[in-house]
């Protein structure tokens, strides 16, 4: 049994923490949202009154936070502008030699900065972002992409395996984040392509089921189709069947594609599709009046195509005469 502090008990963090409890670990959690704390408590997570209290007696600290800015502020007690009080963050509150695991998705540079700060404070640290969404977090089938020194990876692998199905060592500090932004660039671009195909299929008179049955067993098969299908029906567990309740929120996809776009520019890689996908999701996230799963991009494509209600999806061709 490992004493784990889990900071950030949102849609992903809460089920991940619950799976650690199920695996027999002693988990103390903290989140700024009272409802998130209550949900975690129902799953057997001990709740703390502050993040510092949560980590005080932990052997391992796991963070799942919205951005690199939030991560660095949580670690150090101050943000990039110097707001806050230095020495009041998680690194100062934790016992010497604590192992920090960050499962957030952040910029590679922020991941390396966080790692260096943890090491300078006398701790060990790895970056371990995840893929698999809320469904994967709940079912403990996540993929963890880990940036760590070899010895640290050996120590974190059993713990991460309690929350996921696959744990991959992607290199040294920052390597996990590098793999994550590459993966999500593929994911965002593929969801746009799958959604465009369904809208085209509607126009051509194909039913959603017929198109799914073909593509899911043909060369266009991908996760965006077979797990997170953007139209209701073919995959009953996809967010499309729950009015696009996330899931993986469109705003988070926009953020991740923005990280990928920054990396593309910094490295000089010519990746027109990745950059265009980032622009599409940024605009889509800004247009939404409430949070939706990233697969709801299909509705934006319909609207731009003058087909907002998905005419033709019942299998009868549209009349274009």
Residue tagged active-site, from 166, 180, 245, 255: 180
Tokens of 124: 């060990």
Question: Per-residue pLDDT for 317 more than 90?
Answer: no
Alpha-carbon gap, residue 178 to 269, rounded angstroms: 14
Q: For residue 284, what pLDDT is reported? A: 97
Q: What is the pTM of this model?
A: 0.87
Query: For position 308, what pLDDT does the model report?
Result: 72
β-bridge mates for residue 99, sequence order: 60, 124
Mean pLDDT of the chain: 92
Please give the pLDDT value at position 70: 93
The whole-number pLDDT of residue 155 equals 95
> What distance in Å separates the CA atoms of residue 316 and residue 321, rounded to the nearest whole number?
14
What span, in angstroms and rounded, lies between the C-alpha atoms of 96 and 154? 20
Residue 63, pLDDT above cutoff 90: yes
The angle, 0 to 180 degrees and rounded to 10, between the axes of the packed helices 297-304 and 175-203 is 40
In the residue annotation, 86 being an active-site residue is answered as no
Across the range 66-87, mean pLDDT stands at 78
CA distance 78 to 89: 8
Least Cα distance to 247 among 236, 258, 238 occurs for: 238
Q: What is the pLDDT of residues 77-88, one digit of tens each?
A: 866 555 666 656
| pLDDT digit string, tens, across residues 268-300 | 999 999 999 999 999 999 999 889 999 999 999
> What percent of the chain shows pLDDT beyond 90?
88
Q: What is the DSSP letter of 294?
A: G
């Amino acid at each position: 049994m490992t004493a784990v502090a889990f900071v950030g008990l949102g849609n992903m963090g809460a089920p991940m923490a619950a799976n650690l409890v199920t695996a027999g670990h002693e988990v103390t959690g903290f989140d700024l949202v009272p409802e998130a704390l209550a949900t975690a408590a129902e799953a057997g997570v001990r709740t703390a009154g502050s993040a510092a209290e949560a980590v005080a007696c932990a052997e391992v600290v796991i963070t799942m936070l919205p951005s690199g800015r939030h991560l660095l502020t949580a670690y150090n007690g101050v943000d990039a502008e110097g707001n806050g009080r230095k020495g009041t963050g998680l690194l100062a509150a934790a016992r010497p030699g604590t192992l920090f695991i960050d499962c957030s998705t952040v910029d590679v540079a922020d991941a390396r900065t966080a790692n260096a700060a943890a090491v300078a404070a006398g701790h060990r640290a790895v970056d371990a972002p995840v893929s698999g969404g809320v469904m994967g977090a709940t079912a403990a089938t996540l993929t963890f992409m880990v940036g760590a020194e070899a010895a640290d990876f050996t120590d974190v692998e059993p713990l991460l395996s309690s929350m996921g199905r696959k744990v991959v060592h992607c290199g040294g500090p920052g390597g996990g984040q590098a793999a994550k932004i590459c993966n999500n660039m593929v994911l965002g671009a593929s969801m746009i392509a799958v959604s465009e195909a369904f809208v085209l299929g509607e126009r051509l008179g194909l039913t959603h089921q017929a198109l799914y049955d073909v593509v899911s067993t043909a060369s266009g098969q991908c996760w965006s189709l077979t797990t997170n299908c953007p139209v209701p029906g073919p995959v009953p567990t996809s967010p499309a069947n729950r009015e696009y309740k996330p899931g993986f929120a469109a705003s988070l996809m926009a953020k991740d594609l923005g990280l990928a776009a920054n990396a593309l520019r910094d490295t000089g890689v010519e990746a027109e599709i990745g950059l265009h996908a980032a622009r599409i999701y940024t605009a889509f996230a800004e247009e939404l009046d409430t949070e939706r799963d990233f697969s709801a991009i299909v509705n934006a494509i319909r609207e731009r195509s003058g087909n907002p209600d998905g005419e033709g999806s019942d299998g009868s061709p549209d009349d274009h005469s």
